[in-house]
Structure 1
Amino acid sequence: MRYVLFVFGLSLFLTSVCIADNLPADDFYMSGIHEYLNGSYEKAGDLFNKSMVAYDQEGDVDNARRALGMRNRAFWILVEMPLNRTTAENNLKQSFPSLSENDISRILQPGNSIQIDSDGQTRYFYNIANNVAYHNITIMQDNSRKTNHSPFFDEVFPLISNNTSFTGWYGNPHTFMAKSSVSLPRNVLPANGTLEVWMPLPIETDSQKDIKILDIQPQQYISSDPVTSGDLGQVYFTIPLNEMDSQFINLSADYEFTTDEQRFVIDPDSIEPYDTSSDLYREYTASQPNIEINPEIRNLSSSIVGDENNPYRKAKLIYDYIIHTYPYSNVPHTYLVGSQIPESTYMFDTGFGDCGTQSMFFAALCRAAGIPARATGGYQLAPGLAGPHFWAEFYLQGYGWIPADVTIAESSDWAFDKTDSDRNRFKDYYFGNLDPYRYTIQNDVDISFTPDPGNDIIMNMVHQTPALVCRESREDVELLGMQCWNITLSEVD
């Protein structure tokens, strides 16, 4: 899952609202709520900002923070939707000169592209052209042909085709070094107060091991020991701002970890029945904020699996259905999290989904079919292609957590010079197997850092970047922290 965040866009809400009008703060706030519920997010953000300023003038810090949170949420909804009709048309014409006016008009129709109506106009997703390409295999294969490179397929297929066998289900280890850092300009924060920072770290899993923390700085501000076990890896800092007098506040975490390739050999007829009273079964078949199981998703799951009762075969039916029904798409996660729209529901409603959305949708369909499932992730580390990524896992009694990466599987369709047989082999591999080019931060979505930042952060679904909180600040510190984050991941010889 990738996030492109436009910090400069915050000026939408700040250019003319530095001093509040002479209205009570509550009036500004409730007017903001009214505009927010009506979908006028720019107006809402302006009003929330005015209410924040007024609350601060009244000395009401708690309500000022509440207004700040709503201002930021309104901005997050809009940040990845910057195009109006004219700029969206120009974007498409520049990207695809051969498109006719009718083609462009069709793409810009509701349902054919990602868009929202706000403040009296239709706003379009900044990656609209990318999604046109992703939804057209001919374009994707032509792009691969021009570079003589089929992403992911060229990197991974040699590994898939070598027929390696392991003792057990894990082998072919690869060791990686990560160097991660946050460098936050000091002048964006107040003179006094506390900056809290949660930085992600790898966790021990059946396929990820030998984690070595090489260095974490500044050590004197680490508030709890680094966590590399359980469901979410992290290190937590509390930084007194009155002690920060440099131009930047710098934090870093360097570490190594080893990941195994996974190759499961499963006999579907030998799978043991689930213990439906177990905590694991109850947790991973339940609906949750972003793996929501609404009646429509439950009905779809039932129609996909039909009369099949075997959990392995049901999961494979769901896997194949997603691959053959939904092309990969970029998705505006800031809009979804700002609007509190569940990822699985968004994919069901729109058909648009990237790796994270597809994985959560797969997990929701599996859970609806009585199969424990989750969306796992951090980064994929395919040579030359490393970046944020999520994939799915489903649980089989007697085997454990089984990987399923519908997104990487789909990428085989972009390969320009491969046979259908090789593409199908690639897709089959990613059900029940997984390449060793992975960095796992969390075992599922919707897991909170510790201590829980609660409503002080908006992106509480995934943790591929740090979370920053400064309760004394009136900036969007969380967004600034994402912008100031850097990570390099390299394989250790």
Structure 2
Amino acid sequence: MRKLLYTVALFVMASACSTKPESKPYNWEDDLYQRLLTDFCMTESQVKDYIRKYIPDVTDEQMRQWEASKALECMMLDGEKRYFRNAGPNLFRVDSTCYDIKIAKEGTSPSGSEKVNMENLPEIISAVKKEGKAIVAPKRMRVTYTLTVDTNAVPAGKIIRCWLPYPRQDQARQQDVKFISASEPQYTFSSPECRHSTLYMEKRAVEGEPTVFSETFEFTANGEWHNLKPEDVQPYDTTTALYKEYTAEREKHIVFSPRLREVAAKLTAGET
């Protein structure tokens, strides 16, 4: 849940701006609040309608119990209780009793990605063992990524800025990256030194029309597998700059709250 609240869209963001000097500057709290309103968009009635598919006689008391246990995601915004957009389905993943009820009604079946992995993972492992290298099974991919901003979501004439994800070219698992096209004539690729690889475009909003951004690219994707053994895993050198950088807090995005520290200590009790 905390991860949800502090996750920021790293690749895609649309924001209205103006050339007028009195334009309101970017504010993290305002942005976070707007994202919470977007994610917590369900009413109790809507969530109950979903739950009734599996528990027809669901009661208010049960709702309060699930909320108290954090299995049913909700929060107060503007003095109103709002539920996470996927609160209903998530309840049947998080709460063990609800999970059993759903499984009894629908059974289990692998998801689309699980079906692919059932074939792909054995293929990769077999190839690694046969070829004696960790990166194998190359496959050429063509990707078209499209982002659509709803009609009139941004006032007409305002500029919408958009960052779309683009493959890094310094990763062994993805090679031969080839840019094909972008929806806008003017675009900018992020510097290789940036932590995240993106393609930037912007466009003015038009009244009565959606604003659409898209890109197409190709790259060769590879499978990777390392046959790790317990004896291969050595203690971290906690004094190195690398360790300190990637285990540190990053305000706004990664904050070690007392509850998070408590859970981490409990999960790693006895570990060295």
Q: Same fold judged by TM-score > 0.5? A: yes
Counterpart residue number, 1:150: 110
- SS at 1:252 equivalent: strand
- SS at 1:61 equivalent: coil
**Structure 1 residues 181 and 275, CA gap change in structure 2 (3 angstroms):** same
- SS at 1:164 equivalent: helix
Asked if residue 264 in structure 1 is aligned to residue 223 in structure 2, the reply is: no
Structure 2 unaligned segments of length 5 or more: list them: 5-17
Name the CA distance, whole Å, in 1 between partners of 2:75 and 2:99: 26
Counterpart residue number, 1:316: none
Work out which of the residue numbers 193, 199, 205 in structure 2 matches 1:235: 199
Quote how far apart the aligned CAs of 1:299 are: 4.2
Work out which of the residue numbers 156, 174, 177 in structure 2 matches 1:211: 177
Counterpart residue number, 1:27: none
TM-score by length of 2: 0.68
Work out which of the residue numbers 104, 114, 134 in structure 1 matches 2:93: 134
**Greater CA deviation, 134-143 or 261-270?**
134-143
CA contact (8 A) 1:211 1:228 kept: no
**Structure 1 residues 86 and 246, CA gap change in structure 2 (3 angstroms):** closer
Quote how far apart the aligned CAs of 1:229 are: 7.1
Quote how far apart the aligned CAs of 1:118 are: 3.6
Counterpart residue number, 1:323: none
Q: In the TM superposition, what whole-angstrom CA distance separates every residue of 1:258-286 from its partner, at most 9, and x where no partner exists?
A: 22222112244345665545442221121
Name the CA distance, whole Å, in 2 between partners of 1:173 and 1:252: 25
Name the CA distance, whole Å, in 1 between partners of 2:172 and 2:41: 42
Name the CA distance, whole Å, in 2 between partners of 1:185 and 1:131: 26
**Structure 1 residues 100 and 297, CA gap change in structure 2 (3 angstroms):** closer
* 1:383-462 map, 5 Å: none
**2:65 partner letter:** R
Name the CA distance, whole Å, in 2 between partners of 1:121 and 1:248: 30
Counterpart residue number, 1:96: 54
Quote how far apart the aligned CAs of 1:215 are: 1.6
How many residues are matched?
A: 244
CA contact (8 A) 2:54 2:101 kept: no
- Percentage of pairs with the same residue: 16
Asked if residue 174 in structure 1 is aligned to residue 139 in structure 2, the reply is: yes
Quote how far apart the aligned CAs of 1:109 are: 4.4
* 1:55-66 map, 5 Å: 61-62=22-23, 64-65=24-25
Counterpart residue number, 1:76: 35
CA RMSD of aligned residues (A): 4.0
- SS at 2:126 equivalent: coil
Quote how far apart the aligned CAs of 1:238 are: 4.8
Work out which of the residue numbers 242, 247, 250 in structure 2 matches 1:280: 242
Name the CA distance, whole Å, in 2 between partners of 1:268 and 1:207: 25
Work out which of the residue numbers 251, 254, 257 in structure 2 matches 1:291: 254
Structure 1 unaligned segments of length 5 or more: list them: 3-55, 310-493
**Structure 1 residues 238 and 165, CA gap change in structure 2 (3 angstroms):** closer
CA contact (8 A) 1:184 1:250 kept: yes
